[in-house]
Structure 1
């Protein structure tokens, strides 16, 4: 089969699709990954066929990151033409041979591209977004809701899609020659199926979902071929007890200095060593300390099994890596689906209660609480590592595409 995979977003949105493309290739299929061109350096070492697409929208995201709600609202006017540029670049793939298009919904135009090609499309989700259930609220809803409102909350997903519908409809007609209205993502998922790319041990299928929505497992991406850890990192790991990993991924804060100082003081209070990952800027380089190492980025699949526990933001990619590593977690969620996953790992008994406010003392206390959950995390890690989400996703794509 020829499989076109389309995704966009942060590194955490792209990595699982690189893993999926590798799995498809290993199974004898031809997979092409279409994603923002800034991820070319991420993709290249894995020898995945890469179609680089416009990524100018990221410039606006970088511009307003950490500047507050007003800046974000003002930036919306700039985003729409840049999203149209993304869609126009996506349309250049319309004559590429493919048997199926596998896509992340935030790409907006990928299922329409499949319509133009005359092939099946299959949504791939790392977060449940388009399959309503009464058993939990839509994960991106920012407030806790009473159980009676769970199913109603799923209408928010359609509302998030709404601002782009007019632009997508125009683009569909002008760039793809497909007149008329098209189904929304909720309808497409209901009719065409979905790849739910998370572990059923993290979030099992609720009773009111169809069996076809059963979660397949995580899509982990190993460290790139030939990658070697920096000598200062291996030396630090060898010189003492396993450290605490602290990283907040793509989160950007207004005051990285204060957050970094909070983390360092919490580590001092607990007497623990730490590895800090600066990520997109939530943390910054700290003053030199023998018990703390600051890194830009290190593959989670390599580093986390060598740590004692993980302090992070609750992104599902980091949750997955910590679960696979078999280490307990401390989660300080910031936005989006992060509070949802923070509650899930706590409910599983592998994480401290989610932190709503980060202070040296609250973080130190949460670290101690996470330590008490270490054995449960190790046991669950053994079970999660036995899953093969990539192989399961490949089988699902083969069925959907007729391969």
Structure 2
């Protein structure tokens, strides 16, 4: 982003966005403005009867994972098979809760340490010098791959096959939309902080500066700009991973706003008693309440029990999964502040391992359920994680929040606004006097009363039940239902009867019908229950074609660099591989009782074949050179003409006219269809607009509207016939390219097919509730109906 926007990071991790800069003012004129959303309620509750394979993808700390365990347990009550995919260190935590677990990699302790050092979106120079950025990007790449495998691989514990039929995720997992697109299944996002554009309040990570811009517009634009900064840092990593899934790259202009553009259902798990739903959030966005799990059984150790009984309720202080740079300094501040306030305290050691000498007024605590402990303390002091904040308020405890990053300042401000605690204290500003005064504020009657009022409202909510209801309400039930076994989700489709109607089949139904020789396995195709259409939207013919040309040149430059860099990477990889294999061979020769022939084999593995290495290097160079040529041809024949045609088709939007969506071009057939329909539609609209537009304008705005209508009609007569002609030239070409690309990128599709067949075979062996005679009769009845 240009320096004119001046994104910088404050001590609390919030990003400065200067809307008075020239670039920012230009962007706010170009970018879509906030739209009025018609008053609409959420989809009505639905009695769901189809058990699904659901994978929940979560990146973050234990506090981020715990709410989704509660959600998973509630989903299980509806018959769903639930897999929670998160960091490896949480395996025991997840499995002990009765959920399946899948490891996605990533070290949450390292992630937390990075976030404490870099609480905002822009990394510090210290992190740049220490190589933290590359490590974080490598970790994100690892987690993206882990999230994908969590959708299609068997359970690592039981080896039970699993192919996801729906995804629930928190936004920082990043893989969610892309996994759902590859599988063609529904996605539902859930989070503890605002992530959807609204005029009601700014993005929690944004610190806005403006003088002339309307505050509501500034709030709205803050979401897009924060997302843009995020995509700038990770977009190339995500697109590289998408290519491994045979998905096309997401354009820079679309990546930051994918969830909003695709209108992905979004449920926010906080209490509306703290933050009500903004009026400009449409029906696919819900606020359902905090997620609380069933309180675990817990027996306190004798020393904790004795400390609680030895005096008045203590103050709880803990920072959970936060990894603090200087834990000793933090511990000294906490102990001195407790004594200055004249209270007793329980200090949670947490991931920072806070510790000190035993004393009568301070008790150091290991792992302990907050649900049990917070009933027995007077005040809670913590980092402001959503789960910890919710648990404290549910138990009517006044709260001091010491935020480090992320949504923590947001929750600190919400608690302060509700008068249940003081304004949040950034951890960099924390000292003995400030903390002692904050604890004293929480011990007042005013804070206790405010906390009790919030607690009473929260007790009437059931966040997990409301979230499950919202999840069910947003599922496309008709597309997901097997037509033979209606209580099973559809995974396959087959064209049957003389009219070749597509029949939806579940994994079990399809496998049993194949085994019963009703049709060959090759006759069935994967069924997408939810299709994602990611387009590179063009504003006009010039901007569109220029953008496509720049993209083509950038890809060609990247491929040209690869002519030299790829052979070097091949040589480097071969050298490292030889070193690795040499070490492995040496270990093998020590551990095995093989003959001298094994030693020869081990010795030969250490020898690099220069001819094979040179051949591999030449191959990599040739591939890059070929990519230069293919990129140039594709850009000239397909991408740039397509961008110009799309820009011309969308041009009427710039002068207030409506533009019809021509649909997706996914192959040569749809290319021909879109070309024909666009030609007829644009040509007809261009001619009829001379009459229709003035009539509509006069009806809506009188004489002024008539004048506007005449202008729109004349403009349409010029632009729309040109768009119609371009459609005949460009869209069939795009359809042919789409068909060729699909035919040459089948690896992921084949992997999904094999995994789905594998699960179907397993179901056929283990599920004995289906009567074969009834099943085949229903199938033949459906076939007969289509004839």
Q: TM-score, normalised by structure 2?
A: 0.48
Tell me which of 465, 469, 472 is aligned to 1:391.
Answer: 465
* Corresponding residue number in structure 2 for 1:33: 84
C-alpha change, 1:317 and 1:186, in structure 2 (3 Å) is farther
Which of 380-389 and 246-255 deviates more?
A: 246-255
* Corresponding residue number in structure 1 for 2:434: 362
Counterpart CA distance in 1 for 2:305 and 2:208 is 42
Query: CA shift at 1:170, angstroms?
Result: 2.1
SS at match of 1:200: coil
C-alpha change, 1:34 and 1:265, in structure 2 (3 Å) is same
C-alpha change, 1:64 and 1:151, in structure 2 (3 Å) is closer
Tell me which of 51, 65, 80 is aligned to 2:137.
Answer: 80
Which of 145-154 and 21-30 deviates more?
A: 145-154
C-alpha change, 1:78 and 1:355, in structure 2 (3 Å) is closer
SS at match of 1:364: helix
Task: Tell me if the contact between 1:103 and 1:111 (Cα under 8 Å) persists in the aligned partners.
Answer: no
Query: CA shift at 1:181, angstroms?
Result: 2.7
Tell me which of 205, 212, 220 is aligned to 1:140.
Answer: 205
Tell me which of 83, 87, 96 is aligned to 1:45.
Answer: 96
Q: Where do 1:1-400 residues align within 5 Å?
A: 1-55=52-106, 57-58=107-108, 60-61=110-111, 69-73=124-128, 74-95=131-152, 96-129=162-195, 131-141=196-206, 143=207, 145=209, 147=215, 149-154=218-223, 155-174=225-244, 176-181=245-250, 184=255, 186-189=257-260, 191-224=263-296, 226-281=297-352, 284-356=354-426, 357-372=429-444, 373-400=447-474
Counterpart CA distance in 1 for 2:112 and 2:385 is 19
Task: Tell me if the contact between 1:2 and 1:99 (Cα under 8 Å) persists in the aligned partners.
Answer: yes
Which of 165-174 and 90-99 deviates more?
A: 90-99
Task: Tell me if the contact between 2:116 and 2:324 (Cα under 8 Å) persists in the aligned partners.
Answer: yes
SS at match of 1:41: helix
Query: CA shift at 1:144, angstroms?
Result: 5.8
C-alpha change, 1:126 and 1:257, in structure 2 (3 Å) is same
Deviations 1:289-328 (A, max 9, x none): 1111111232212211211011112222221111111110
Task: Tell me if the contact between 2:295 and 2:372 (Cα under 8 Å) persists in the aligned partners.
Answer: yes
Counterpart CA distance in 2 for 1:92 and 1:211 is 32
Counterpart CA distance in 2 for 1:402 and 1:28 is 18
Which of 309-318 and 81-90 deviates more?
A: 81-90
Counterpart CA distance in 2 for 1:284 and 1:133 is 39
Task: Tell me if the contact between 2:315 and 2:343 (Cα under 8 Å) persists in the aligned partners.
Answer: yes
Task: Tell me if the contact between 1:64 and 1:71 (Cα under 8 Å) persists in the aligned partners.
Answer: no
Identify, as 1 or 2, the structure richer in helix: 2
Show structure 1 runs of 5+ residues with no match. Answer: none
Deviations 1:266-292 (A, max 9, x none): 2112221111012121x6112211111
C-alpha change, 1:210 and 1:63, in structure 2 (3 Å) is closer
Aligned length: 397
Query: CA shift at 1:184, angstroms?
Result: 3.5
Query: CA shift at 1:389, angstroms?
Result: 0.5
SS at match of 1:394: helix
Deviations 1:152-202 (A, max 9, x none): 21121232133221221221121x222343753633245122011111112
Greater RCO (Cα-Cα under 8 Å, separation 6 or more): 1
Show structure 2 runs of 5+ residues with no match. Answer: 1-51, 119-123, 153-161, 478-787
Query: CA shift at 1:94, angstroms?
Result: 4.2
Task: Tell me if the contact between 1:134 and 1:151 (Cα under 8 Å) persists in the aligned partners.
Answer: yes
Which of 71-80 and 320-329 deviates more?
A: 71-80
Task: Tell me if the contact between 1:222 and 1:299 (Cα under 8 Å) persists in the aligned partners.
Answer: no
C-alpha change, 1:61 and 1:71, in structure 2 (3 Å) is farther
* Corresponding residue number in structure 1 for 2:771: none
C-alpha change, 1:299 and 1:212, in structure 2 (3 Å) is same
Task: Tell me if the contact between 1:60 and 1:75 (Cα under 8 Å) persists in the aligned partners.
Answer: no
SS at match of 2:188: strand
Determine which structure has more spread, i.e. the larger CA radius of gyration.
2
Counterpart CA distance in 2 for 1:237 and 1:288 is 15
C-alpha change, 1:264 and 1:26, in structure 2 (3 Å) is same
C-alpha change, 1:152 and 1:252, in structure 2 (3 Å) is same
Counterpart CA distance in 1 for 2:421 and 2:146 is 42
Counterpart CA distance in 2 for 1:50 and 1:257 is 35
Query: CA shift at 1:59, angstroms?
Result: 6.9
Task: Tell me if the contact between 2:112 and 2:323 (Cα under 8 Å) persists in the aligned partners.
Answer: no
SS at match of 1:93: helix
Task: Tell me if the contact between 1:99 and 1:401 (Cα under 8 Å) persists in the aligned partners.
Answer: no
Which of 318-327 and 210-219 deviates more?
A: 210-219
Deviations 1:305-361 (A, max 9, x none): 211011112222221111111110112222222222111111111111222432222
Query: CA shift at 1:20, angstroms?
Result: 0.8
Deviations 1:113-133 (A, max 9, x none): 11121111111111112x111
Kindly report the root-mean-square deviation, in angstroms, between the aligned alpha carbons of the 2 structures. 2.2
* Corresponding residue number in structure 1 for 2:669: none
C-alpha change, 1:79 and 1:333, in structure 2 (3 Å) is closer
C-alpha change, 1:67 and 1:368, in structure 2 (3 Å) is closer
Task: Tell me if the contact between 1:60 and 1:78 (Cα under 8 Å) persists in the aligned partners.
Answer: no
Counterpart CA distance in 2 for 1:202 and 1:296 is 30
Query: CA shift at 1:49, angstroms?
Result: 1.1
